[in-house]
């Protein structure tokens, strides 16, 4: 069995299940990191939506393919490719914010502006902990988690697009 046959099995349902398993594995990885104390920022949480949507969509696509609804399964795979392509763009934006190539959302980046009352600030510090989007909490092999998400989402987008064509 060749590497191509392992990566792209002849069965369309199996290809869709592979996408579902990878989406769940990525979610499990970030949940484990969060359990170890790495709190996600606003952009990190937003990037997870693609995986939350992809896992059940991929399983529905596998079900459709197993029922010989190949046109519907192909549409599901193309939708998965679009979801992951959009997430690649979002993750690239987030990585750029982390590397300070451009500014991020004001809710989770930058410093304080304007006048502040010390009492209001003390109350806010007691009740709110903002995880900054422009500070990398963890690097693995030199890449931030947003950088790894760029690679993972792009790979899944390409995989889903190729799987739709097979």
Dump the DSSP string for 66-108. Answer: HTT-HHHHHHHHHHHHHHHHHHHHHHHHHHHHHTTSS---TTT
**Domain enclosing residue 67, as ranges:** 3-165
Encode pLDDT of 78-132 as tens digits.
999 999 999 999 999 999 999 999 998 887 776 555 566 777 656 666 666 678 8
Which stretches does DSSP call E strand in the chain? Answer: 139-140, 143-144
Q: DSSP character for 116?
A: -
Quick one: what percent of the chain has pLDDT higher than 70?
88
pTM of the predicted structure, to 2 decimals: 0.84
Higher pLDDT, 139 or 1: 139
Tokens read off for 142: 């030199």
pLDDT at 72: 95
What pLDDT sits at residue 57? Answer: 98
The number of distinct structural domains making up the chain is 1
User: What's the mean pLDDT when you consider all of the chain?
Assistant: 89
């Amino acid at each position: 069995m060749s590497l191509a046959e392992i990566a792209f099995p002849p069965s369309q349902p199996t290809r869709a299940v592979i996408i579902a398993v990878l989406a769940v594995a990525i979610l499990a990885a970030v949940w484990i990191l969060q359990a170890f104390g790495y709190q996600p920022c606003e952009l990190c949480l937003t990037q997870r939506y693609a995986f939350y949507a992809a896992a059940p969509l991929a399983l529905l696509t596998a079900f459709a393919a197993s029922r010989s609804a190949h046109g519907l399964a192909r549409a599901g795979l193309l939708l998965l490719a679009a979801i992951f392509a959009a997430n690649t763009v979002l993750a690239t934006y987030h990585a750029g914010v982390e590397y300070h190539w451009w500014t991020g959302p004001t809710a989770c980046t930058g410093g304080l502006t304007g006048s502040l009352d010390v009492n209001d600030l003390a109350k806010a510090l007691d009740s709110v902990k903002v995880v900054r989007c422009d500070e990398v909490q963890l690097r693995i092999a030199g890449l931030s988690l947003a950088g790894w998400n760029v690679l993972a989402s792009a790979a899944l987008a390409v995989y889903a697009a190729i799987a739709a064509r097979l």
